[in-house]
Structure 1
Amino acid sequence: MKKILFLFLSMWFNYTVFAQQKTFAITQFGAVADAKTVNTAAIQKAVDACNANGGGMVYVPAGTFITGTFHLKSNVNLYLENGAVLKGSPNLKDYDSYTPPIYGLTYYGMLYTTNASNVSITGQGTIDGNNQVFHDFTQAKKIDANTTRFSRQKDNYRKVSSGVGDGPVVPNKDRPHQMVVFSGCTNVQVRNVSLLNSPFWTMHFADCDAVLVTGIRLWSGLLIPNADGIDVTSSSNVTITDCDIRAGDDALAIVGYDHHFEIPGFTGKKHVSENIIIANCNLQSYSSAIRIGFLDQNTVRNVHVSNVNITNSTRGIGIFVRDEGSLENITFSNMYIETKLRTGDWWGNGEPIHISAIRGKENVKLGQIKNVKFSNITCKGENGMLVYGTDESIIDDISFNGINFELTDSKLNDVAGGNIDLRGVMGEKNQIFQRDIPALLIDHAKNISINDFKLTWTNPRMPYYTHGIEAENFQNLRITNFSGGASPINKQAARIYLGQGQGFTTDDPKGVVRQK
């Protein structure tokens, strides 16, 4: 009886809240669901009326509504009914535009919301960016010859045997940019909706505080260049949970943006990204499934990732310092990562885990990567894992605990294997270059702990596969409970190979080779 009464009261409460919420259906303001009428003005009128009346719900009923750029406002919940589709106009003139000094004429995407609070997108409906009309799906975007000339394969690097291969396809000269943007907003929620076919980044949170993204399906298109899933720049207190994200470019990107050029509507602040939780998600990306840091970078800290599956991706986890600003206090736990080599102009080269700190910009003090923890990670990859620092930015305090790594052969080894991809750095020789590949390479790092690391090699056939673990220019390296060895086809390789460095300890010195 008590249970029945509780359910009744709960249903009554939810009904009362819904009934009290002011509802503004876009059809009441002239929107037409005929998949051809441009409804931008009607949708904006509904948003403006909702905001002017103290807030409530802007209701999108079932049907396909074409739209250009519109702007949400404070206290507005954009609710998409099951079967509702907001679809991006194929005409660029229907999108707002601006002209930054570096890039020239640029078009906004579909939703651009600035300086709002208590704003949300919810429901079971869909936002569709209509990327099919802004790309040429008959051509693959290729890497330029200067970038590939230091690779093992030279001009043959990532060559497509037929068609567009793994893409990316070629974008039109002009296309709408970020499909959904929240800039300078507080208390933002995106729940349960589908975000599909973005022509550029799908969803961008810039200078926001208190963000929740949960239960969404975000499929931007695996062949689309620059079609990131969710980008978080200079934002704090962000939670992303229970999402299915399949993106051509980075599925999740977390950076502390420095706003080196002005974009209308952006608040222009320069501050950290911090206090970010990512949990219970399925991710796919033809670039990095999770990217933290890069160029134009301020500090990122306190990022915690757990219970995430990464599959069908070119790079699993990528942590990059290329600019000022450090990356610190980052944890990854209870994850499965599966990575592959690709054809075409994607960044990444099959690494399950990639950590690197190398200069990408002149005249800045390079930041540092420190205090990064990996625990209970199972990986299957077509390239080795990488911890790659430099003299001016030594990677500090990295731990691997409970790692199970299967390094497997790839059908694309002949056109892509045996290389390291550090793109975004200065110097052509540092972009993509050939190198022998150990299962785990550590270079210019200190205070590294590796415990309970199980390594297996599956059908290796390339002579450039070498050591189980290789460490160069290290300080204070500890390896315990390591199960595995060198590549079984390379008789010169070592289970553990140590170059220049100091402070090495292990519980099993068998198979350790130290450079003299």
Structure 2
Amino acid sequence: MKKIALFSLPVLMFFLLSAKGIDYRVEKKQKDYLVTKYGAIPDGQTLNTNAIQNAIDAAYKNKGGQVVFPKGRFLSGSIKMKTNVSLYFEEGAVLLGSTNPKDYDTMAFEGRPVSPKSDDNSQMALILAHKANNIKLSGKGTIDGQGLKLALTIDSLHHAGIAIDPNYNYRRHRPNETMRPKLFRFSQCHNVTVQDLKVGEASCWGLSFELCSNLIIDGLTITNRSYWNNDGIDITDCKNVKVTNCNINSADDGICLKSYYPEHFNDSIYIANCIIRSSASAIKFGSASYGGFKNITIEDIRVFDTFRSAIAIQSVDGGIIENVSISNIEALNTGNAFFIRLGHRDGGTPGIVKNISIKNMKVQVPFGRPDINYDLRGPEVDFFHNPFPASIVGIEEFAVENVVLENIEISYPGRASKGMAYVPINRLEQVPEKIKDYPEFSMFGELPAYGLYVRHAKGISMKNIKFTLDYSDFRPAFVFDDVRDLMMEQVDLSLEKKEEVILKEVTRANLNVKQSIVKTVN
């Protein structure tokens, strides 16, 4: 008679739940450390930096614990997270950033790899973490950086000659971002969760993570519109990241993937079920792009009232971008659908941009500024132009490779005027290359297509593409310049006319469209 193995109940539950695709984990109950028991006073005026830090340190010394903020307003300068310590904010609890710049620290980030420009942005923050593992910030409370008051204080100290900013931006009347604290600055941390909180109003970037792994950002409401450089979330050279169910309203980029370290890159990033409003781009790769971005999945994103691109994918510092899957994007009142760019502003060999898939995207581009009704707006371009198309642009001999566009619908405003700007299709060389310029959808000036402009690319596959116009546009829908292996099928244009698809130096093209709308130019 065979013996039957008997499983304990927890083991049996693990197998049953795992079979249903449920992540079964038992979290050990952490001891609570109430900040008020360590002297924190929730009056919104008393500086509680030391009291809060003492609670964190006590939890750390006891092999971990949960630091609890009860209802009230807790003013603080920089606090430092420690391994196995969580912060929990009860409903009605508010952590307020100090408006005195002297209350902020720069953590010594020892052991970071060498980067050309990693210190070109602020190393100060309200919440700092360096090599702190197994940390969590959660609850129903709020973290408010009071960024406008803080930034204006920094500005006043500069003009008073008390704390001089050597890189002060006199053109835009603001201190350099290196002088302004972020909300979070986490570096080289493992197993980090930030969940369910209301956060934002920093004087610089909001939530900044670099060289971290196993990062979960879920269910956040991020409002970061106090001042310039107010990104929502910045993820730099991190691995195994999930950003889900977040609502982001930012004055600069909503979610920005950056790569400052040539030997590192963002890898296995999943962004889903987010709502984003930005005075820059909603989701952006770069512009810092030294290592690169690999295995990125973005899906189920809603974008609105966004000044620049819904999706911007850019390598201009030698980084590699590959295996990017984007799907189910809806963008209303957004200045540009997508912008894919391979440039070369730094030394060394140009990077690589390849294997990008964009499917199921619907975008409405307005005639005027999408962010006009907001107090803080992105800087307008300084030249005459008609509405910009989506674009895919590499550099000569370094093409953007293997881009799949499928089920794309973009509504354009039309109303382009030859009197405003005019690039004839027989002078496509008039569009500048701008290899070393900062990447942006408007960087080339006036573009000769209203729908999609592609230059220096190979392996471009398009299926079920629909462009509509509110009013007529004198430009063709598509311009392809120096493109190899082009495939088009099921293209729907609202105002079909001659010369809708312009080909210049295009080889191996398979165009399943009406030949009457295709024109080849020299």
Q: TM-score, normalised by structure 1?
A: 0.79
Contact 2:126 2:145 (C-alpha < 8 Å) held by counterparts: yes
Q: Which residue of 2 aligns with 1:131?
A: 147
Q: Within 5 A, what are the aligned runs for 1:368-383?
A: 368-382=352-366, 383=388
Match of 1:212 in 2: 216
Deviation at 1:230, TM superposition (A): 0.8
Q: Which position in structure 1 is the counterpart of 2:410? A: 405
Aligned equivalent of 1:147: none
1:114 to 105, 118, 130: 130
What's the secondary structure of 2:57's corresponding residue? helix
For 1:272-283, what aligned pairs fall within 5 Å after superposition?
Answer: 272-283=265-276
Aligned to 1:394: 399
8 A Cα contact 1:485 1:496, kept in partner:
no
CA drift at 1:310: 1.1
User: How far 1:71 sits from its partner (Å)?
Assistant: 0.5
- Among candidates 433, 441, 445, match of residue 433 of structure 1: 445
Give the drift of 1:339: 4.5
- Partners of 1:413 and 1:311 lie apart in 2 by 29
SS in 1 for 2:282: strand
Instruction: Give how far 1:368 is off.
Output: 1.1
Partner of 1:235: 238
The 1:421–1:498 alpha-carbon spacing in structure 2 relative to 1, beyond 3 Å, is: closer
The alpha-carbon distance between structure 1 residues 274 and 432, as it changes in their structure 2 partners (threshold 3 A), is same
Once residues 391 and 19 of structure 1 are traced to their aligned partners in structure 2, the CA distance between those partners, rounded to angstroms, is 57
Q: Does 1:510 align with 2:497?
A: no
Relative contact order, CA 8 A, sep 6+: which one is greater? 1
Residue equivalent to 1:444: 456
SS at match of 1:283: strand
Q: 1:281 to 1:239 in 2, by over 3 A?
A: same
Q: Alpha carbons of 1:272 and 1:98: their partners in 2 closer, same or farther (altered >3 Å)? A: closer
Q: Does 1:55 align with 2:64?
A: yes
Consecutive unaligned residues of structure 1, counting only runs of 5 or more, are 1-5, 7-16, 140-167, 260-269, 341-349
Q: Paired residue for 2:344?
A: 359
Deviates more, 1:438-447 or 1:500-509: 500-509
Cα separation, 1, equivalents of 2:74 and 2:230: 22
* Aligned-partner Cα distance in 2 for 1:75–1:476: 53
Alignment of 1:183-262 (within 5 A): 183-221=187-225, 224-258=227-261
Amino acid at match of 2:445: F
- Residues in 2 aligned to 1:124 and 1:417: alpha-carbon distance in whole angstroms: 54
**How has the CA–CA distance of structure 1 residues 506 and 173 changed in structure 2, closer, same or farther, with 3 Å as cutoff?**
closer
Confirm or deny that 1:33 pairs with 2:42. Answer: yes
> Cα gap change, 1:421/1:225 in structure 2, threshold over 3 Å: closer, same or farther?
farther
State the alpha-carbon separation in 2 of the partners of residues 122 and 189 from structure 1. 8
Displacement of 1:113: 0.3
Shift in Å, 1:21? 2.4
- Counterpart in 2 of 1:266? none
Over the matched positions of the two proteins, sequence identity in percent amounts to 26
Quick one: structure 1 residues 415 and 86, their matched pair in 2 at CA, closer, same or farther if it must change by over 3 Å? Answer: farther
Deviation at 1:293, TM superposition (A): 3.0
Question: How many corresponding residue pairs?
Answer: 444
Q: 1:467 Cα deviation (Å)?
A: 1.0
Answer whether contact 1:316 1:339 (CA < 8 A) is retained.
Answer: no
Q: Does the 8 A contact of 1:339 with 1:351 survive in 2?
A: no
* Distance in 2 (alpha carbons) for counterparts of 1:358 and 1:73: 40
- The answer as to whether partners of 2:391 and 2:454 remain within 8 angstroms in 1 is yes
Dislocated runs of 4+, deviation >6 Å: 98-105, 410-424, 427-430
TM-score by length of 2: 0.78
Match of 2:371 in 1: none
Aligned to 1:80: 89
Corresponding residue number in structure 1 for 2:284 = 291
- Does residue 322 of structure 2 align to residue 333 of structure 1? no
Does residue 1:497 correspond to 2:497, yes or no? no
CA deviations on 1:213-266 (whole Å, 9 max, x unpaired) are 000000101x6321111111110000000000111111111123217xxxxxxx
Indicate conservation of the 8 Å contact 2:122/2:182, yes or no.
Answer: no
Q: Which digits, 9 at most, give the CA deviation of each residue in 1:24-58, with x for residues without a partner?
A: 01111111111111111111000000011111110
Contact 2:362 2:408 in 1 (8 A): yes
RMSD: 3.4
1:180 aligns with 2:203: no
Partner Cα distance (1:99, 1:52) in 2: 21
Structure 1 distance, partners of 2:149, 2:318, is 38
TM-fit CA distance, 1:439: 0.6
Change in 2 beyond 3 A, CA 1:512/1:20:
closer
Task: From the superposition, tell whether residues 271 and 428 of structure 1 become closer, same or farther in structure 2 (CA, over 3 Å).
Answer: closer
| Structure 1 Cα separation of the partners of residues 187 and 422 of structure 2 | 40
Work out the CA distance in 2 between the residues paired with 1:412 and 1:98. Answer: 53
